[in-house]
């Protein structure tokens, strides 16, 4: 398999030990050894040595969420996320992607989102139309919110309205490139999506990015891929924290105690942990999960639920069990995808709230 020397070094240097074994949310949810970063490294090593074919490990390669828990916990400094992404790119180049991944890639290229959606819900369309006028600030909602969680997208807009912020929302928002980056990595098609979106972003002074997945890509991956923008990119959580600090976003503090689910994109990739907490503290009493901030455990997402829905429910259910285990009964999320995953679990003991739900009292 054609891999960079850096990735080969990481694969060959991985001793298939157990440091990352206990922290992988997919491995913990499935109970399968093959689902762990350790097993992925072993599989890639076998392909590189000609023992098996690339196509034999691809389902396993797409079990990785890219959450970086393994990278965070590996004291020897190896990066399973990096070599997993490179294998996905190589599989795309060799036309060895699983059919279900190929379908999502085609949707990304044809419709601009992995779900093949082209029409927004009427409520969101109407709300977006209220903010069509050009301002200095763009609110970027992202594909998950626009097409798969439109009620939360509407609430995200309403929160900024509550703060009296002037902002624009685009009806024809371009893809950030985040979904293609997850599916096929640093392909030319991924970079072209990023470049097109960056050009639109250049028309604004500030871009507030609602989904942490898009925020991570715009703030970090764009730079890695040589994509530049003149706009100041701000996470939605950081924007809300600034509005709270300035006294523009205020509300009555609810008689409610909650814990916060750190999105790994914010906590690990962007090293942003306190902004959401500052917002939550204004509207509720904040307690902490045992595994929080950089140690956070991923709670599932919408994209992977398209091809492994039952596993995503197990991932989310395990995170809810973490909340229950410390005697808490409400969890607040700052990621629309994790919110959707947690809400998909049929249970009545833990209240699942988004930041927007908390702020709006809904």
Are 177 and 199 in contact by the 8 Å Cβ rule? The answer is: no
Question: What are φ and ψ of residue 324, in 5° steps?
Answer: -65, -35
Share the mean pLDDT of the chain: 95
Q: What number does CATH give the domain 250-360?
A: 3.40.50
CATH class (in words) of the domain with range 122-242: alpha beta
pLDDT tens sequence across 107-157: 999 999 999 999 999 999 999 999 999 999 999 999 999 999 999 999 999
Could you give the percent of the chain with pLDDT greater than 70?
99
- The region, left, alpha or beta by phi > 0 then psi within -120 to 50, assigned to residue 167 is beta
Q: Which has more confidence, 235 or 13? A: 235
pTM of the shown model: 0.96
pLDDT of residue 16: 64
pLDDT digits (tens, 9 = 90+) for 22-61: 889 999 999 998 898 888 888 998 998 899 999 999 999 9
How far apart CA 137 and CA 236 sit, in angstroms, is: 12
Distances (CA, A) of 127 to 108, 111, 146, 180: 25, 22, 12, 27
301-322 pLDDT, tens digit per residue, is 999 999 999 999 999 999 999 9
How far apart CA 63 and CA 26 sit, in angstroms, is 7
Q: What are phi and psi of 259, to 5 degrees?
A: -110, 160
At residue 205 the predicted structure's pLDDT band, cuts being 50, 70 and 90, is: very high
- Is the pLDDT at 15 greater than 70, yes or no? no
Angle between helices 309-325 and 336-343 (to 10 degrees): 90
Same fold, 122-242 and 250-360: yes
Over residues 183-187, the mean pLDDT reads 97
Give the residue from 130, 215, 37 showing the smallest Cα distance to 45.
Answer: 37
The residue with tokens 């764009």 is 222
Cα dihedral angle (84, 92, 308, 43), rounded to 10 degrees? -40
Task: Please report which helix (H) or strand (E) contains residue 258, including its range.
Answer: strand 257-261
Domain residue limits, the chain: 5-96, 122-242, 250-360
286 forms beta bridges with: 258
Model confidence at 252, pLDDT cuts 50, 70, 90, reads confident
Beta bridge partners, 234, equal 208
User: Could you tell me which of 61, 31, 67 has the C-alpha nearest to residue 44?
Assistant: 61
């Amino acid at each position: 398999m054609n891999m960079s020397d850096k990735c080969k070094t990481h694969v060959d240097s991985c001793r298939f030990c157990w440091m990352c074994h206990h922290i992988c949310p997919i491995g913990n949810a499935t109970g399968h050894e093959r689902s762990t970063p350790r097993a992925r490294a072993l599989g890639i090593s076998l392909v590189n040595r000609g023992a098996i074919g690339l196509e034999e490990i691809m389902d396993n390669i797409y079990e990785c969420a890219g959450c970086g828990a393994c990278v965070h916990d590996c004291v020897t400094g190896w990066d399973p996320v990096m070599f997993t992404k490179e294998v996905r790119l190589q599989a795309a180049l060799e036309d060895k992607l699983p059919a279900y991944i190929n379908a999502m890639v085609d949707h990304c290229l044809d419709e601009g989102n992995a779900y093949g959606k082209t029409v927004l819900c009427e409520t969101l369309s109407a709300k977006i139309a209220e903010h069509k006028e050009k301002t200095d600030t763009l609110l970027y909602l992202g594909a998950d919110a626009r097409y798969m969680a439109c009620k939360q997208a509407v609430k995200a807009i309403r929160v900024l309205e509550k703060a009296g912020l002037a902002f624009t929302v685009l009806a024809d928002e371009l893809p950030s490139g985040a979904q293609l980056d997850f599916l096929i990595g640093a392909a030319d098609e991924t970079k072209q999506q990023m470049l097109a979106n960056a050009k639109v972003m250049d028309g604004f002074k500030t871009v507030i990015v609602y989904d942490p997945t898009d925020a991570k890509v715009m703030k970090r991956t764009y730079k890695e891929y040589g994509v530049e923008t003149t706009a100041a990119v701000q996470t939605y959580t950081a924007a809300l924290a600034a509005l709270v600090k300035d006294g523009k976003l205020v509300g009555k503090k609810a008689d409610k105690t909650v814990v916060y689910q750190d999105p790994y994109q914010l906590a690990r990739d962007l090293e942003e942990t306190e902004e959401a907490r500052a917002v939550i503290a204004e509207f509720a009493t904040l307690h902490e999960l045992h595994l929080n901030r950089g140690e956070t455990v991923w709670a599932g997402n919408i994209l992977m639920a398209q091809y492994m829905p039952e596993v995503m429910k197990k991932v989310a259910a395990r995170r809810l069990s973490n909340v229950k285990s410390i005697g808490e009964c409400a969890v607040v999320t700052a990621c629309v995808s994790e919110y959707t995953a947690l809400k998909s679990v049929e249970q009545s003991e833990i209240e699942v709230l988004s930041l927007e739900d908390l702020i709006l009292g809904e």
